[in-house]
Structure 1
Amino acid sequence: MHGINQRVIKASTSVVVIAALSAGTLSGCSEQEAVQTQARLQPVTTLALTKSDSFEQHQTYTGVIRSANTTGIGFELGGKLDSLLVDSGDSVAQGQILAKLDTSLLLAEQKQLKATLKQTQSDLDLAINNLDRVVKLSKQNYASEQQLDESEQRVQSLKASKQSLEANLDSTSLRIEKSTLVAPFSGIISKRQQNLGEVVNAGTPVFTLIGQHNQLAYIGVPVDVAQTLRTNQQVDVTVGKHDMVGLIAGISGEVDTVTRTVQLRIALDPKETIINGEIAYLDYQQTMATQGYWVPISALTDGVRGLWNVFVVKQGEQGQTVTERRDVEIIYTDDTKAFIKGAIDANELLVVEGLHKLVAGQQVSPTPAEAL
């Protein structure tokens, strides 16, 4: 009997030990499953949405650098190029001789006119002396009225011939003078367009001359932007690698029919080293009164029908953290972030990283991100 009781006690003890081991095993399995479940959750980075009543819109508009004095210069009359004294890239001063036409015919014409004028002057002197004698004889009734009239007419005719010859001589001298091309202002010869010995027509450009000062940026902007600007306003301009401050010298009063923009004329510092024809960029910033949210570009994903989507983190029905897809509209973007509005509210947690593995309703493990 005593042996039977000992066996019963041992059996009971074994059951208790097995039960304890089973409970410990089940508890360990539950903790392991919880850890495995947590590890299976998709990690995402979230950011709390902050609403803004406006945003700063930064735009860049493109134009070109042109000198205020840029012109094609040529002769005022046609002729054969006899000499070219400068070439492309040469710096010239105002009044410097640039080229000459062949003036052989003009010099011969000038010589002939001078000889004719000298002969006419001699005939005029003789006619005046003759008129004086006729006047004296007429007073003594030794000359008729007809003789007096003819003498006076002869003097007047020679005077008119002399004036005509003098005018022709002045014209020839002026054409000889105009056969020498001089620089109208100081600058640089950017291009030579004619060759020595060529016959050029009046007004045909021989050189393109660019002034060394008064460099201007001509930049077209939309009408609504032009309406916010004013003359003498300072603006930021970039030319090449140089950032500089320009002054709006003028705003066009009409819209370009091709570009549909209004042209700005921006004066630049003459000390800046810039070249005619370089590309100029106007950096313009404008405050836009529109409500929305700034979000990183990485928070956006393609939607349907041309829309954009974002994911927000919400608490599920059973307490788990899940994602929801929302439709949004992009108002403005820069290099790193976008200003959006749509089916989102302030303080909601926006998923900013890890979107490529998300679907709506997926359980996630969120981690807060640094504020924008």
Structure 2
Amino acid sequence: MISLRESQPRVVHFFARCLTLRQTLTLRINRAPAVLAFAGAVLLLRTNTAESTPPPNVLPVQVAPAEEVDTLLRKRVYTGTLVAARRSALSFETAGKIVELVADEGDRVEAGQILGRLDTRRLEALRAQSQAELVESAARLREFIAGPRTQTIAAAEAEVRNLAAQRDVAQRNLERRAQLVASRAISREEYDEMLFEFRAAEARVDVAQKTLDELIAGTRQEQIDAQQARTQALEAVVADTRHRLEDAVLRAPFAGQIVKRNLDEGTVVALGEPVFELIEAAALEAWIGAPPRAVATLTPGAAMRVEIDNEEYEAVVQSIRPELDPQTRTQNVVLRIPRDPRLVAGQVVRAAIVQPIAMRGFWTPTASLTPRRRGLWAVYVVAAGRVEPRDVEVIETDGDRSFIRGTLAPGEPVIAEGAHRIVAGQAVTIASERPAVTATTKPR
């Protein structure tokens, strides 16, 4: 039989002191007032704290109103190349031997500056010969225009009178011979000889008279025209020789920089063989290829901003090529770039072209998007102090802003950031409000 003392549980104290059940209960009852006092103080402190701060599960958020637009301004960045506005392969306009080249690769030259010369000894001799022939022809032309001298005419007149006198003598002798032949004093043969002399003298008078008439009439116009044509032909030969001498000197057609030198002194060059390659130093151009639909939004003279080596520059649309590049199937846009000594032909140029697309939707901060199932997206809005999701479709993303469309209504406050910290149905409070994200403004 178990006694009452043995049936009571034993409590082991920290110092291994054994207490009975009655002693234990008595100890706990004595401590109860202190425990109740401590619990009351803690409850009073929690009540005062709850009255001064909002509930811990209400999250402050930043929102931006959803503003609907009817046009999507789609921006695309296209790449091009920086080229010189003018680039020329310089060559002599005549064949010959190079005797001097005064420029080298990298040299800057001015417009009209001499770059090289050819051997011109044969051309110099040809020019001297042509000039001498021209002087002779011009003198003869002046002589024809002036006509015969008076002394020449007087000499011709004297010659006519002399021949006329000889003719008259021959005529009288012929008359005497006629009487003698009638009386048979002379033979018929002697009479015929005298007749021949008379007719020869008469012919000489006619020739001299005609020559005199020609001198008096002056030089024929046909002779003057022929000599004038001969003189003009020689003038053309002299001018051609002068031009060939000028072509033997190579000059810079515009101010620029030599980028390549192909030949050296002593080389015999053919007509049109390139000697130097020159690029213009005054201005550079950017050639950018883009699809025709994007190029259609540009007009000559419009201003654009381009990026070259991580720096932005103001550019102007100079022209738009009317055909497509057969390799890239893009349309080239030529932009005029202001001169900057840091820019070099061949650098990569990037330009953004904005293409308007008729589409209704909303611009919203990219940070406001949260992924959904099956590749869908959503944004959270604040409605009656609670978070509600709106399923949307992401159409375009441009850095820290995105263009969306879906179940979002115009004017709803979209939670701008921190979508990963909230869930649907959560209680929130609006801490601040951002400006609406539009096609021309971006969230900060």
What TM-score, normalized to structure 2?
0.54
Question: For residues 332 and 99 of structure 1, what CA distance do their matches in structure 2 show?
Answer: 59
Question: For residues 238 and 139 of structure 1, what CA distance do their matches in structure 2 show?
Answer: 96
Question: For residues 140 and 414 of structure 2, what CA distance do their matches in structure 1 show?
Answer: 110
Amino acid at match of 1:332: E
Provide, for residues 133-184 of structure 1, a one-character-per-residue CA deviation record: whole Å limited to 9, x for no partner.
6555667764525994896566655444333222211111111011111112
- Greater helix percent: which structure? 2
Provide, for residues 71-93 of structure 1, a one-character-per-residue CA deviation record: whole Å limited to 9, x for no partner.
22222233332221101111111
Question: For residues 128 and 85 of structure 2, what CA distance do their matches in structure 1 show?
Answer: 42
Give structure 2 stretches of 5+ with no counterpart. Answer: 8-20, 26-60, 161-207, 381-388, 435-442
Structure 1 residue 334 corresponds to structure 2 residue 398: yes
Residue in 2 aligned with 1:73? 90
Residue in 2 aligned with 1:290? 360
Which of 64, 69, 92 lines up with 2:81 in the alignment? 64
**Equivalence map 1:223-234=2 (5 Å):** 223-234=292-303
**Equivalence map 1:81-230=2 (5 Å):** 81-120=98-137, 131-132=148-149, 142-145=208-211, 148=214, 152=220, 157-230=226-299
Do the aligned residues in 1 keep the contact of 2:369 with 2:379 (CA within 8 Å)?
Answer: no
Structure 1 residue 309 corresponds to structure 2 residue 376: yes
- By how many angstroms is 1:101 displaced? 1.9
Q: Secondary structure at the match of 2:80?
A: strand
Residue in 2 aligned with 1:39? none
Report sequence identity in percent: 24
- In structure 2, relative to structure 1, the CA distance for the partners of 1:135 and 1:265 (3 Å cut) is farther
**Equivalence map 1:253-268=2 (5 Å):** 254-258=322-326, 259-268=328-337
Question: For residues 418 and 281 of structure 2, what CA distance do their matches in structure 1 show?
Answer: 56
Query: How well do the aligned residues superpose, as a CA RMSD in angstroms?
Result: 5.0
- By how many angstroms is 1:251 displaced? 3.8
Question: For residues 66 and 212 of structure 2, what CA distance do their matches in structure 1 show?
Answer: 110
Question: For residues 103 and 140 of structure 2, what CA distance do their matches in structure 1 show?
Answer: 48
Question: For residues 88 and 292 of structure 2, what CA distance do their matches in structure 1 show?
Answer: 29
Do the aligned residues in 2 keep the contact of 1:134 with 1:147 (CA within 8 Å)?
Answer: no
Which of 350, 355, 359 lines up with 1:281 in the alignment? 350
Do the aligned residues in 2 keep the contact of 1:299 with 1:351 (CA within 8 Å)?
Answer: no
Q: Secondary structure at the match of 2:259?
A: strand
Question: For residues 373 and 264 of structure 2, what CA distance do their matches in structure 1 show?
Answer: 64
Question: For residues 60 and 245 of structure 1, what CA distance do their matches in structure 2 show?
Answer: 16
Do the aligned residues in 2 keep the contact of 1:138 with 1:148 (CA within 8 Å)?
Answer: no
Question: For residues 110 and 147 of structure 1, what CA distance do their matches in structure 2 show?
Answer: 41
Q: How many residues align?
A: 317
Question: For residues 283 and 249 of structure 2, what CA distance do their matches in structure 1 show?
Answer: 27
Question: For residues 135 and 396 of structure 2, what CA distance do their matches in structure 1 show?
Answer: 84
Do the aligned residues in 2 keep the contact of 1:117 with 1:162 (CA within 8 Å)?
Answer: yes
Question: For residues 300 and 81 of structure 1, what CA distance do their matches in structure 2 show?
Answer: 74
- By how many angstroms is 1:109 displaced? 1.6
Amino acid at match of 1:223: P
Provide, for residues 330-355 of structure 1, a one-character-per-residue CA deviation record: whole Å limited to 9, x for no partner.
4222345643445888779999659x
Structure 1 residue 53 corresponds to structure 2 residue 68: yes
Residue in 1 aligned with 2:314? 245
Question: For residues 156 and 251 of structure 1, what CA distance do their matches in structure 2 show?
Answer: 54
- By how many angstroms is 1:187 displaced? 1.4
Provide, for residues 226-270 of structure 1, a one-character-per-residue CA deviation record: whole Å limited to 9, x for no partner.
33333333221222233122233x342624243444433333333
> Which has the larger displacement, 235-244 or 129-138?
129-138
- In structure 2, relative to structure 1, the CA distance for the partners of 1:263 and 1:69 (3 Å cut) is same
Amino acid at match of 1:333: T
- In structure 2, relative to structure 1, the CA distance for the partners of 1:278 and 1:366 (3 Å cut) is farther
Question: For residues 302 and 219 of structure 2, what CA distance do their matches in structure 1 show?
Answer: 75
Question: For residues 256 and 94 of structure 2, what CA distance do their matches in structure 1 show?
Answer: 23
- In structure 2, relative to structure 1, the CA distance for the partners of 1:101 and 1:57 (3 Å cut) is same
Provide, for residues 17-53 of structure 1, a one-character-per-residue CA deviation record: whole Å limited to 9, x for no partner.
xxxxxxxxxxxxxxxxxxxxxxxxxxxxx99997553
Amino acid at match of 2:281: Q
Q: Secondary structure at the match of 1:290?
A: strand
Residue in 1 aligned with 2:202? none
Question: For residues 108 and 89 of structure 1, what CA distance do their matches in structure 2 show?
Answer: 37
Residue in 2 aligned with 1:42? none
Amino acid at match of 1:144: K
Question: For residues 225 and 210 of structure 1, what CA distance do their matches in structure 2 show?
Answer: 30
Do the aligned residues in 1 keep the contact of 2:377 with 2:394 (CA within 8 Å)?
Answer: no
Question: For residues 231 and 340 of structure 1, what CA distance do their matches in structure 2 show?
Answer: 33
What TM-score, normalized to structure 1?
0.63
Question: For residues 352 and 122 of structure 2, what CA distance do their matches in structure 1 show?
Answer: 59
- In structure 2, relative to structure 1, the CA distance for the partners of 1:105 and 1:278 (3 Å cut) is same
Q: Secondary structure at the match of 1:86?
A: coil
Residue in 2 aligned with 1:270? 339
Provide, for residues 286-324 of structure 1, a one-character-per-residue CA deviation record: whole Å limited to 9, x for no partner.
5654315646489677987xxx334789xxxxxxxxxx9
- Greater strand percent: which structure? 1
